[in-house]
Amino acid sequence: MVELNGFIKEARGNQVFVEGGEFLMGDFGIEFGAERLPYNINKNSSPLHEVRLVGYSIDKYKISNSDFFLYLKNNPSAIRQGKSLGDYEMPKVFPDSPARISWSEADRYCKWLGDLSGLPYSLPTEAQWEYAARSRGQFVKVATDDGEYRMTEVIESREDGPRGMNISTVWDRYDFEKKMGWNKSGRILLPVGSFPANPLGLHSMTDNGMEWVRDWYDPDYYSYSPVVDPQGPDTPVFQMPSGENARVARGQDHANTIWRLGVSVYRYPRDPDRTFYTARCVVNSKEPVN
């Protein structure tokens, strides 16, 4: 119990309050981007539409492997079929890197935090996620300290590429894997807090692992989304090739100097059973967590 008490205290301390307000959600590239071009050729990030949100708090970091291990340790029934708790133990995974989890695992984890703390924890809605990633709805492409990509000037080749200065690249992952003595894969996520936070104090919302949000995916949702506190479609709308009803994932796994796109507005349909994505939780309260 002492372990859980310390964990909850730390979890509460990692919540960043986001003051409510109005913003234009979606692909703002044509109207407000420097190049006046759309950021997303996929029209599912359009139309740009007004959203009003009340205040809430959101995790400073993505759910880490050590966080998720503690959850499984206290909820053995949540361990994946064919796995044991030992499969999640360090050093098999790096404790401070984001956990690769399914949508339902992320959803249950956030609800477990709510049960432990007595606070209204959940996955963020898509609108909450974007509002926070864009520092309360500013017209920024990526959730970095300055809203831009900054990387070293390394010529990209088959053997090498740029390292991130304020956002992660696949080459940063290769360097981390080499340091840890692991095989080069580019799939290992970097420890949380490896790069500067955005102006709200949130780390790596648009890199180092795509993030689950609460909403069902509908490519046309922005055309009928309510203005006040949109929650996504009421029921499943879009099916993946696997036949599973799609949930929304936001952000990106890693950055690339060639893209320099508005990842803060990109949205993706994803199979909720895939354990390849990351997440962070919110507390749905108008008052800051203390």
Measured CA to CA, the distance from residue 100 to residue 81 in angstroms comes to 16
Q: What is the pLDDT of residues 57-105, one digit of tens each?
A: 999 999 999 999 999 999 999 999 999 998 887 656 789 999 999 999 9
Residues 6+ apart with CB under 8 A from 181: none
What are all long-range contacts of 107-112, with beta carbons under 8 Å and residues at least 24 apart? Answer: 107/212, 107/214, 108/75, 108/78, 109/63, 109/67, 109/68, 109/71, 109/279, 109/281, 110/279, 110/281, 110/282, 112/71, 112/74, 112/75
Q: Can you state the angle between helices 65-74 and 103-117, rounded to 10 degrees?
A: 70
List the structure tokens of 3.
């372990």
Looking at residue 183, its pLDDT comes to 83
Let me know if 200 is exposed, middle or buried by CB neighbors in 10 A (0-12, 13-18, 19+).
buried
**Domain residue ranges in the chain:** 2-283
Q: What is the pLDDT of residues 134-151, one digit of tens each?
A: 999 999 999 999 999 998
3-class DSSP state of 98 = strand
CA distances from 220 to 26, 148, 223, 242, 264 (A): 12, 28, 6, 21, 18
Q: What is the pLDDT of residues 200-259, one digit of tens each?
A: 999 999 999 999 999 999 999 999 999 999 999 999 999 999 999 999 999 999 887 666
pTM for the model stands at 0.95
Across all residues in the chain, what is the average pLDDT? Answer: 93
Of the candidates 188, 157, 158, the residue with the CA atom closest to the CA atom of residue 170: 188
Q: What is the pLDDT of residues 1-54, one digit of tens each?
A: 658 999 999 999 999 999 999 999 999 999 998 889 899 989 999 999 999 999
Q: What is the pLDDT of residues 110-124, one digit of tens each?
A: 999 999 999 999 999
3-class DSSP state of 112 = helix
Looking at residue 290, its pLDDT comes to 83
Choice between 185 and 260, residue whose per-residue pLDDT is larger:
185
What are all long-range contacts of 8-12, with beta carbons under 8 Å and residues at least 24 apart? Answer: 8/113, 8/116, 8/117, 11/59, 11/67, 11/113, 11/117, 12/117, 12/119, 12/289, 12/290
- The residue behind tokens 């506190």 is 229
The rounded percent of the chain whose pLDDT value lies above 70 is: 95
Q: Are 159 and 51 in contact (CB under 8 A)?
A: no
> In terms of CATH architecture, what is 2-283?
Alpha-Beta Complex (3.90)
